[in-house]
Amino acid sequence: MSSTFLTCRGVVKRFGPTVAVDGAGLEVEQGHVMALLGPSGCGKTTLLRLIAGFEAPDAGEIELDGRLLNAANTFIPPEKRRVAMVFQDFALFPHMNAGANIAFGLPRGADKRGRVAELLALVGLQGLESRLPHQLSGGQQQRVALARALASEPSVILLDEPFSNLDPSIRARVREEVKQLIHAIGITALFVTHDQEEALSVAQEVAVMMDGRVLQTGSPSQIYLHPTSRAVGEFVGNANFLAGTVRDGIVECELGQLKVNAGFEGVADVMIRAESLALSEETGTPAEVLSVEYFGHDQMLTVRLESGTLLHIRLLATPQLPPGQRVGVVVRGDVFAFPAS
């Protein structure tokens, strides 16, 4: 049975007048993989460094496996936290081969040769221990960095934008490999990313962070299908926003009267995902196709309503519609409403 293993309560970190982390709260279950998702500059890497012990919080508490890592008169140094970190640039020693890089993370007195062999096998790099970092691919370098982090048998592994330095052609494959590896080991992991696709596909839970605060935490489907604020809904996925008014479970907007579970009444920001819109030749709100982005498996249309409002619609790859085509826009999926900002 899982239990909360890593907890951040009201964590604050300032750098001069800048508040990088503003009362952030986080709970990670033991053995789970959580993504800390947010735009650049939102404080997510700073929070990771606070958990690792590379920075000390100005307020709040961080607890790992029932042990306070910081308090009024307590600060556990990084080397005593049983927390390992994989950096964005992998931070491998360029003059050391793969085996030596991994051995660097091992405690004194350990059977380094045997342990390095075990870790190389674990990350699928048998036979490559003599290669220098520049002789390895980006994916292989990342696996060496991961093996080095695992060498000390940490309780938690932290990964800072772990896939951002990889070539796009191999990124999806490598992140799937890392996902399978972390799940197979069963270690608790927290990774930072600004890539929503990465967060939703790799993690069991996602925490969305903005302006130094964690706005919502939940499973990938909860975050995507049930955002608790406009900010979360707008950041995660392709979303259209329209002005509307909610009354008696119905929101009225340019696309008509639509059912909504809003929990409030009055002026609203109406959010409809791109894939929740469709086209109809016979019904729907009149619009004109402005542009089409073709992705092979699907396409993203930008259409303009008669009012001038622009909407994005995600459809299957066929049929392809030319710019200037007149269409009718209909709602086929969930509708969200948030109190007007």
Tens digit of each residue's pLDDT (9 = 90 or more) over 164-185: 888 887 888 888 888 888 888 8
Model pLDDT, residue 174: 84
> What rounded mean pLDDT belongs to the chain?
92
| Same-domain status, 144 and 245 | no
Span 116-121, mean pLDDT? Answer: 91
Last residue of a domain, one of 198, 230, 262: 230
63 & 20 share domain? yes
Structural domains in the chain (count):
2
Q: What is the pLDDT of residue 34?
A: 96
For the cut 70, the answer to whether the pLDDT of residue 2 exceeds it is: no
CA distance linking residue 243 with residue 96, whole number of Å: 59
- Alpha helix segments (H runs only) across the chain: 44-52, 98-103, 112-122, 138-151, 168-185, 196-202, 220-225, 230-235
Kindly report which listed range (16-25, 80-89, 265-274) carries the lowest average pLDDT score: 80-89
On whether both 168 and 270 belong to a single domain, the answer is: no
Domain final position from 230, 253, 271 = 230
Q: Do 272 and 177 lie in a common domain?
A: no
Full domain range(s) for residue 95: 4-230
Residue 145, phi then psi, degrees to nearest 5: -60, -40
Which pLDDT does position 88 carry in this prediction?
Answer: 84
162 confidence band (pLDDT: 50, 70, 90): confident
Percent of the chain predicted with pLDDT > 90: 72
Residues 106 and 130 in one domain: yes
Lowest mean pLDDT of 11-15, 109-113, 124-128, name the range: 109-113
Same domain as 264, residue 193? no
Q: 197 and 289 in one domain?
A: no
256 Cβ contact partners less than 8 Å away, ≥ 6 residues apart = 285, 331
Of the three residues 230, 248, 279, the one that is the final residue of a domain is 230
Q: Give the CATH number of the domain where residue 328 resides.
A: 2.40.50.140
- Distance of alpha carbon 39 from alpha carbon 155, whole angstroms: 27
CA-nearest of 230, 154, 159 to 190 is 159
pTM equals: 0.89
Indicate whether 219 and 271 sit together in one domain.
no
Q: Where residue 98 sits, what CATH number does that domain have?
A: 3.40.50.300
Asked if pLDDT for residue 297 goes beyond 50, the answer is yes
* 148, 167: one domain: yes
Q: Are 220 and 181 in the same domain?
A: yes
Same domain? 256 vs 220: no
- Average confidence (pLDDT) over 222-233: 94
Q: Is the pLDDT of residue 256 over 70?
A: yes
Q: What is the pLDDT of residues 64-76, one digit of tens each?
A: 999 999 977 889 9
pLDDT of residue 254 exceeding 90, the answer is yes
Band of pLDDT at residue 110, cut at 50, 70 and 90? low
Q: Give the chain's largest Cα–Cα span.
A: 76
Tokens 């460094």 map to which residue?
49
Q: In the 8-state DSSP scheme, what is residue 89?
A: T
Do 158 and 291 lie in a common domain?
no
Q: Does residue 149 have a pLDDT over 60?
A: yes
